[in-house]
Structure 1
Amino acid sequence: MTTTEIFLIAMCVILALPYLIWRLGRTEYFAPLVVVQIITGILLGPGVLGAAFPDYYQFVFNPEVVQALNGIAWWAVMLFVWIAGIELDVHLAWRHRVESGVTAGFALLTPWMLGAGVGLFLLGWQPGWIGSEAHSWQFVAGIGMACSVTALPILLILMEKLSILRLPLGQRVLRYASLDDIAVWGMLAVILTDWDRLGRQVSFFVGFLLAAWLLRRLMRRLPESDRWYISLVWLSACGFTADWAGLHFMVGAFLAGVVLDSHWFKQAHMDLLRHHLLLVIMPVFFLSTGLRTSWDIGGSAVFIAAALFLLAAVVGKLAGVALAGRWLRWPKGEAWTIGWLLQTKALIMIVFANILLDKRIISNETFTALLLMAIASTMLTVPMVAPRLRRWLSASPAQAAATPASADL
């Protein structure tokens, strides 16, 4: 068979298998389609399919096909991260800066401390967790941030399914997640700082700020149809220059979106783009993520690490939001609901872990453990939140539609 034919076989598998599992298994309540696609990517990777059927795996996912799939995956995830950047509403967070800052700060710092503690434990437990190019502080800080991430795009999808996206509670959660995402990407830039390329990186940020200022002046004068084309060129340029500077093309993609105002694009068009992106090409990224999974240290050790990451992420996030709720005097039970909503990690944490793996901050085994943690934390969100929200909305619809006093601080 030709490479084209084998590539199309791979695409059939990538698109059909997770859909059948999701539809026939009726997994929507605890595992939305995107989560099933991530899990399927792991199953199709070298650790499962490659181990069980090595000849089939080598035939379908040969180097030429994998390279073609990687090209699609790079562009897909750049678009996804770019959309996440656009959807960050920094202005809204600033208007509610006291409440947003306190909540986002506790929700980020507490899981970061616990995650960093797990990172230190892994360094002393056995070799093989840290990447070949990493300093110990980079590894520990990276693990801490991975445990702190909240995936804003997936959070949007889940809250829409839970019918709270447009309620004040949903908008508050988005503010907290937005600030945390900015902090996570900022910390990532610090972790990836390459002192040998410091001059390039300084040049990148100076040039980026100047270019962003000029772009914003231009975008205000353009109709929406032109803004989309210019934005995609801007995305490609930012991804290239960030990678050239020694950061990562996804850092450039995120920054390319952050400097664009969401109101420049119709919300319906942005939602449709995200939907089509998840439908058409993001499954390829999930597969490429699965191809990176590894169990060389040993399956049991990887699962133990994943459990420790999950414990740090869940306990840290819930404890952090509970501290914020006590500080801001939220109604009883509200911190628990918000804490679980902010557990959603999925795609952004996987993107974050991919960057750490690309830069050799973490090993393939650590990447696999983080991937398992991201899946588990996301799958826990809806089952933990949905029953409480149903009781809350049915018991007091007026309360659900009201903005708490703490949100006006």
Structure 2
Amino acid sequence: MHAMSPTEVFLLAMLLIFSVPYAVWRLGRTDYWAPLVVVQIVGGILLGPGVLGALFPGYYAFVFTPQTIGSLNGIAWWAVMIFVWIAGIELDLTEAWRRRGETGVTAGLALGVPLVTGSVAAVLMLRFPGWRGPEGATWQVVLGIGMACAVTALPILVLLMEKLEILRRPLGQRTLRYASLDDIAIWGVLALILLDWERVGRQGGFLVAFALATWGIRWAMPRIAERDRWYVSLIWLAACGFAADWAGLHFMVGAFLAGAVMDAHWFDQARMDRFRETILLAVMPVFFLSTGLRTQWGVGGATVFAAAALLLAASVGGKLVGVGLAGRILKWPKGDASAIGWLLQTKALIMIIFVNILLDKHIITNETFTALLLMALASTMLTMPMVAPRLRRDPALIDRGF
């Protein structure tokens, strides 16, 4: 029998990554409750050591060799850096600032309440062994899990609102304002969690150097042709990612900052949309697979699922209560808070990136990561089935601004 070369094994892994989730998504017609991106993440879990590795350990070891996993991780790192960079560019805070009173109250409660409920769930989990990473202090684990329960994944929110045809309507724009502030908060919390007092001088140096470099890039970008801006931007992305990782803040923090300091109007919007879709299509599935390869069930499958259920209740309940309180304070019409609260449940991608970083830094364990990943998938999959019927019952809700 022909012995496969490393290249052939790598391409076999790529064949599995792209074919299996797509076949399930298309043949199963899951788009209403599980868009392709969610199916790809589930596919990564099924192809990981907890499922495929347990059922067919020989086949798993043959396909996902250390060399193959190393190659896949390299692609995944760059893919997710680009994706986070795009999310940073598209973060529009102008409208949020113009409506800062209403936006601040809603975003603050939508983030703060599930942060508290998620932190309480984390405290309960830490009463049992197996959830805290070897490098994680109690406050880091609690704050990290709490933030994972509170965050909204802006890119997935945009994707689902496009499917609901509300992205450019008043309801969609309101929801984006609230999610934008929460999207900034997760990176601020991450920087706090990763603050290393032994390397605080290096981290401070990074921030000073980044501020100076930001002035330079913002001076240069409007003065060069758009076709050159794309290439220069990728150089800027790689430099920021490297510098942030060198300082101990993780390359994802650098990727987000690299995009957040850039203006969206420097790039053609249609071209940016196509670029984001291309990244999602061509390389992000590799990140989803590499995420699945990290899932573990060492504390017991039932225990991991129980933890995921606890986190889901804390996340969904906290978000709905937080937005409901904002609706009462701001005297929203009936139905607004419920619809917006469910729209803000989307967690896949950004939350998964966040907990990947916590896992990389050994703040949480693989089992905690798996429970959070299951929670993120369930929360995201609830969004469409809960929002779509509400919009059909009350179509006027779509055009209600504030």
Shorter-chain TM range is over 0.9
Amino acid across the alignment from 1:260:
M
Contact kept, 8 Å, 2:89 with 2:260, in 1: the verdict is yes
What corresponds to 2:114 in structure 1? Answer: 111
Q: Is residue 34 of structure 1 aligned with residue 43 of structure 2? A: no
What corresponds to 1:8 in structure 2? Answer: 11
What corresponds to 1:127 in structure 2? Answer: 129
Alpha-carbon offset, residue 92 of structure 1:
1.7
Contact kept, 8 Å, 2:299 with 2:367, in 1: the verdict is yes
- Counterpart pick for 1:384 among 376, 386, 393: 386
- Counterpart pick for 1:300 among 299, 302, 306: 302
Contact kept, 8 Å, 2:91 with 2:260, in 1: the verdict is yes
Alpha-carbon offset, residue 202 of structure 1:
0.3
- Counterpart pick for 1:77 among 75, 80, 88: 80
Contact kept, 8 Å, 2:172 with 2:398, in 1: the verdict is no
Tell me how far apart the structure 1 counterparts of residues 374 and 179 of structure 2 sit (CA, whole Å): 21
Instruction: Spell out, residue by residue over 1:344-400, the C-alpha distance to the aligned partner (whole angstroms, 9 max, x if none).
Output: 00000100010000011100000000000000000000000001112222xx3xx64
Alpha-carbon offset, residue 154 of structure 1:
0.6
Tell me how far apart the structure 1 counterparts of residues 231 and 176 of structure 2 sit (CA, whole Å): 27
SS at match of 1:346: coil
Alpha-carbon offset, residue 401 of structure 1:
3.0
Alpha-carbon offset, residue 267 of structure 1:
1.2
Tell me how far apart the structure 2 counterparts of residues 400 and 348 of structure 1 sit (CA, whole Å): 26
Query: Which runs of 4 or more aligned residues in structure 1 lie more than 6 Å from their structure 2 counterparts after TM superposition?
Result: none
What corresponds to 1:22 in structure 2? Answer: 25
What corresponds to 1:288 in structure 2? Answer: 290
TM-score of the pair, normalised by structure 1: 0.97
Tell me how far apart the structure 1 counterparts of residues 399 and 350 of structure 2 sit (CA, whole Å): 29
Tell me how far apart the structure 1 counterparts of residues 91 and 26 of structure 2 sit (CA, whole Å): 32
Alignment of 1:114-193 (within 5 A): 114-124=117-127, 126-193=128-195
Alpha-carbon offset, residue 264 of structure 1:
1.0
Which sections of structure 1, spanning at least 5 residues, go unmatched? Answer: 405-409
Instruction: Spell out, residue by residue over 1:250-287, the C-alpha distance to the aligned partner (whole angstroms, 9 max, x if none).
Output: 01000101001111111111111111111100000000
Amino acid across the alignment from 2:304:
V
Q: Is residue 102 of structure 1 aligned with residue 100 of structure 2? A: no
Contact kept, 8 Å, 2:153 with 2:351, in 1: the verdict is yes
SS at match of 1:196: coil
What corresponds to 1:211 in structure 2? Answer: 213
Tell me how far apart the structure 2 counterparts of residues 291 and 402 of structure 1 sit (CA, whole Å): 43
Alpha-carbon offset, residue 402 of structure 1:
4.5
SS at match of 2:349: helix
What corresponds to 1:277 in structure 2? Answer: 279
Amino acid across the alignment from 1:361:
I
What corresponds to 1:90 in structure 2? Answer: 93
Tell me how far apart the structure 1 counterparts of residues 120 and 23 of structure 2 sit (CA, whole Å): 40
Tell me how far apart the structure 2 counterparts of residues 339 and 209 of structure 1 sit (CA, whole Å): 36
Tell me how far apart the structure 1 counterparts of residues 391 and 183 of structure 2 sit (CA, whole Å): 25
Provide the identity percentage. 68
Root mean square deviation of aligned Cα: 0.8
What corresponds to 1:407 in structure 2? Answer: none
Instruction: Spell out, residue by residue over 1:17-43, the C-alpha distance to the aligned partner (whole angstroms, 9 max, x if none).
Output: 000000000000000000000000000
Tell me how far apart the structure 2 counterparts of residues 243 and 353 of structure 1 sit (CA, whole Å): 16
SS at match of 2:394: helix
Amino acid across the alignment from 2:9:
I
Tell me how far apart the structure 2 counterparts of residues 329 and 266 of structure 1 sit (CA, whole Å): 38
Tell me how far apart the structure 2 counterparts of residues 228 and 136 of structure 1 sit (CA, whole Å): 42
Tell me how far apart the structure 2 counterparts of residues 329 and 214 of structure 1 sit (CA, whole Å): 45
Tell me how far apart the structure 1 counterparts of residues 122 and 330 of structure 2 sit (CA, whole Å): 31
**More displaced, 261-270 or 45-54?**
261-270
Count of aligned pairs between the two proteins: 399
Which sections of structure 2, spanning at least 5 residues, go unmatched? Answer: none
Amino acid across the alignment from 1:89:
D
Instruction: Spell out, residue by residue over 1:298-333, the C-alpha distance to the aligned partner (whole angstroms, 9 max, x if none).
Output: 011100110011001100000000011111110011
Alignment of 1:384-403 (within 5 A): 384-393=386-395, 396=396, 400-403=398-401
Contact kept, 8 Å, 2:195 with 2:249, in 1: the verdict is yes
Alpha-carbon offset, residue 403 of structure 1:
2.3
Amino acid across the alignment from 1:81:
V
Amino acid across the alignment from 2:36:
L
Amino acid across the alignment from 2:291:
T
Tell me how far apart the structure 1 counterparts of residues 354 and 199 of structure 2 sit (CA, whole Å): 21
Tell me how far apart the structure 1 counterparts of residues 333 and 389 of structure 2 sit (CA, whole Å): 18
What corresponds to 2:324 in structure 1? Answer: 322
Tell me how far apart the structure 1 counterparts of residues 398 and 185 of structure 2 sit (CA, whole Å): 29
Contact kept, 8 Å, 2:93 with 2:180, in 1: the verdict is yes
Contact kept, 8 Å, 2:199 with 2:247, in 1: the verdict is yes
Instruction: Spell out, residue by residue over 1:192-230, the C-alpha distance to the aligned partner (whole angstroms, 9 max, x if none).
Output: 001110001000111111111111011121221111111
Tell me how far apart the structure 1 counterparts of residues 101 and 136 of structure 2 sit (CA, whole Å): 36
Tell me how far apart the structure 1 counterparts of residues 98 and 267 of structure 2 sit (CA, whole Å): 22
Contact kept, 8 Å, 2:87 with 2:259, in 1: the verdict is yes
SS at match of 2:346: coil
Tell me how far apart the structure 2 counterparts of residues 377 and 187 of structure 1 sit (CA, whole Å): 21
Tell me how far apart the structure 1 counterparts of residues 296 and 177 of structure 2 sit (CA, whole Å): 36
Amino acid across the alignment from 1:135:
A
SS at match of 2:326: helix
Alpha-carbon offset, residue 49 of structure 1:
0.1
Q: Is residue 355 of structure 1 aligned with residue 357 of structure 2? A: yes
